[in-house]
């Protein structure tokens, strides 16, 4: 990454008053359980997004992307979503959400840069939004809690950009530490850190480079499905979530809802239990057990949640058959098209050969890189 302080001063004529960075996020288990009051287990990555900010004497809002070498601008009075502003809408949405919680807007110059890939489930928008919220909060000395900052960044995604997103990835990005995973409960927002010591095993992320067009993506309101299922299971009992029910409860209620909904809910109930089992595997420092859980999770995503793709299924299956590879699974949401693999230090060559085979079969050149648990939000 470019020295963002230098880039900011070159672009805006003054050095930044505050520089903040936030890591991308890898969700090891539980990515789809939040709206059922479930749990998630994830880690910050060494790939980060940086945001530099400085005050202005006018009411302008100036945005500069170093990697794109693009500039966008508006005024406080004219702050609104504009499709042509693309990446700058992430920053504008956070400013609007901060204003909604009582933080008055003032003229600000903002520079953004980083190396979190977009669209592969590594939390690009999470890192950008969170770094922006913290940077502006520090710049203006707003008295905000971590929860308020996280909600501002999350609401910018949901309300301003229209992207469904929960809170848990933002908390994982904020609280991440080197060498640890963050285990967080969506119901209570309580979290703990679990050391990631896996006896030489390591994670790799692989972007499968699957070309997808917007019209190819089927948008399914899974959160609404979960809500309808809970109503059927709990007879309208207030405060219930899918985490409060078992697989047996779902099977006993067959006929109360569509079979596809039952399968989706079965995945969520089983995934919540896998989060607990994964936390236990980490405490035991057992990469083989963790790998088996990853493979089970992917099988459930494929067969019950109907959220996978043939190319991804092929790579996960072949990875699991490779000597020295403990497990693999889909990474991120159903539109991310990437995989997470856990492999032994000596299995890199064998895994690379699988990727070469993938390229020959599908005509796609995957991009793969290591993933190490890293520090959460940093004020530089």
Here the CATH number for the domain that contains residue 64 is: 3.30.230.10
Q: What is the DSSP letter of 47?
A: E
Classify residue 267: in a domain, yes or no.
no
At residue 184, the pLDDT reads 97
Has residue 78 been placed in a domain? yes
Q: Do strands 60-65 and 108-114 pair parallel, antiparallel, or not at all (unpaired)?
A: parallel
Among 118, 126, 113, smallest CA distance to 176 is for 126
Write down the pLDDT at residue 1: 57
- How many domains is the chain built from? 1
Cα dihedral value 264, 270, 276, 281, nearest 10: -110
Residue 182 lies in a domain: yes
Q: Distance between CA 339 and CA 182 in Å, rounded? A: 20
Phi–psi pair at 163, nearest 5 degrees = -100, 120
Q: Is 353 a domain residue?
A: no
Query: 128: domain range?
Result: 4-193
CB atoms within 10 A of CB 248: 9
- 300 within domain boundaries: no
Spans of the chain, pLDDT less than 70: 1-2, 212-221, 235-239, 254, 333-336
CB 55, CB 64: distance < 8 Å: no
**Which pLDDT score is estimated for 236?**
52
- Asked if residues 135 and 20 have their Cβ atoms less than 8 Å apart, the reply is yes
pLDDT at 2: 66
pLDDT of amino acid 118: 87
User: Does residue 294 lie in a domain region?
Assistant: no
Whether residue 356 lies inside any domain: the answer is no
pLDDT at 333: 65
Q: What is the pTM of this model?
A: 0.93
Within-domain flag for 253: no
C-alpha span between 332 and 298 (Å, rounded): 11
CA distance 328 to 298: 8
Length of the chain: 380
């Amino acid at each position: 990454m470019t020295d963002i302080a230098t880039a900011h001063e070159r672009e805006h004529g003054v050095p930044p008053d505050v520089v903040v960075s936030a890591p991308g996020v890898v969700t090891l288990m539980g990515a789809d359980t939040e709206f059922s009051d479930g749990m998630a287990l994830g880690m910050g990555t060494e790939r980060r997004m940086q945001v530099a900010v400085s005050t202005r004497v006018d009411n302008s809002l100036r945005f500069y992307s170093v990697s794109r070498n693009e500039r966008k601008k508006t005024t406080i009075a004219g702050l609104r979503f504009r499709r042509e502003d693309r990446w700058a809408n992430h920053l504008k949405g956070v400013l609007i959400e901060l204003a909604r919680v009582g933080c008055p807007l003032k003229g600000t110059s903002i520079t953004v840069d980083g190396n979190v890939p977009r669209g592969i489930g590594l939390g690009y928008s999470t890192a950008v939004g969170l770094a922006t919220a913290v940077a502006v909060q520090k710049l203006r000395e707003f008295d905000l809690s971590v929860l308020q900052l996280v909600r501002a960044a999350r609401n910018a995604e949901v309300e301003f950009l229209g992207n469904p997103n929960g809170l848990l990835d933002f908390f994982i990005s904020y609280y991440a530490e080197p060498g640890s995973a963050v285990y967080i409960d969506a119901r209570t927002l309580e979290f703990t850190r679990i050391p990631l010591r896996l006896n030489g095993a390591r994670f790799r992320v692989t972007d499968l480079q699957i070309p997808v067009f917007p019209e190819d993506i089927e948008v399914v309101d899974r959160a609404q499905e979960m809500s309808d299922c809970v109503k059927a299971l709990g007879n309208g009992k207030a405060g219930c979530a899918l985490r409060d029910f078992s697989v047996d409860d779902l099977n006993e209620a067959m006929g109360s809802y569509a079979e596809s909904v039952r399968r989706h809910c079965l995945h969520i109930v089983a995934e919540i239990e896998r989060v607990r089992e994964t936390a236990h595997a980490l405490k035991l420092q057992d990469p083989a057990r963790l790998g088996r859980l990853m493979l089970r999770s992917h099988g459930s995503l494929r067969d019950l949640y109907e959220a996978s793709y043939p190319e991804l299924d092929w790579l996960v299956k072949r990875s699991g058959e490779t000597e020295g590879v403990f497990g693999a699974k889909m990474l991120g949401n159903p539109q991310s098209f990437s995989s997470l693999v856990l492999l032994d230090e000596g299995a890199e060559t064998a895994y690379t050969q699988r990727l070469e085979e993938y390229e020959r079969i599908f005509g796609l050149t995957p991009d793969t890189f290591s993933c190490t648990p890293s520090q959460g939000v940093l004020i530089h």
